[in-house]
Amino acid sequence: METTKKPSIVADDVVVSLEYTLKVNDEVVDTTEGDEPIQFIQGHENIIPGLERELYGLKVGDSKSVRVLAKDAYGELDPDALVDVPRKEIPKDIPIRLGVELTVRNEDGELLDARIVSIGKDTVQLDFNHPLAGKDLDFSVTVVDLRAAEAEELEHGHVHGDDLDEDEDDLFESEDFEFEEDEEDLDDADEPEGKKD
């Protein structure tokens, strides 16, 4: 028995299933095509604000093109997010090559994604900017389903599913930082947001 009425439009506290294609400079950088749609709770900053606010009022089956400027997406490039790390602090498991992505645990215990952007004799430069920082994003989206969020989902502020938990396996440790190798490229772009558990 359905106890809650199925929402008819995208509104706060509605779980939205969304197909999307993301282009930057006319190139597809991410898409749900051939994959499951993403799911998120509208109005809880699960996705980037510039996209979220354009979805209000859409119905199942509606499509829309949305341009999101960098400042409303992943922000402008931050020069302070380039950090030199002594080479010896990078665990041996991680190949020191340009473009290699890794996750660093900082002093506060937060996991931060970085890429190797420069390799010196004794140091490696890590870029903690999001790969899409500084870029305007062109989304084509289609709403494929809407449902009311469960009370527990609202309490947590995110959708509950089978595979949404952060996997902290394969965590490497070093003196000052812990590192882990990223499993897929543009993992974050699967969820234009910053999903936290």
Closest approach of Zn ion to the CB of residue 16, in Å: 17
Q: Which residues bind Zn ion (CB under 5 A)?
A: 156
Nearest to 9 by CA among 62, 64, 59, 61: 59
Q: Strands 178-181 and 101-105: what pairing?
A: antiparallel
Rounded CA-CA distance 137/142 in Å is 16
Closest approach of Zn ion to the CB of residue 139, in Å: 26
Nearer to Zn ion, 45 or 176 (CB): 45
Closest approach of Zn ion to the CB of residue 117, in Å: 34
Give the number of residues written for the chain.
197
Nearer to Zn ion, 135 or 158 (CB): 158
Closest approach of Zn ion to the CB of residue 165, in Å: 9
Say if CB 13 and CB 41 are below 8 A apart.
yes
Q: Show Cβ contacts of residue 197 under 8 Å, excluding neighbours closer than 6 positions.
A: 156, 158, 164, 165, 166
Nearer to Zn ion, 14 or 116 (CB): 14
Residue nearest to Zn ion (CB): 156
| Strand, helix or coil for residue 80 | helix
Nearer to Zn ion, 67 or 156 (CB): 156
Nearer to Zn ion, 115 or 156 (CB): 156
Q: Count CB neighbours of 182 within 10 A.
A: 16
Closest approach of Zn ion to the CB of residue 183, in Å: 21
Triad 165, 94, 102: Cα angle to 5°: 40
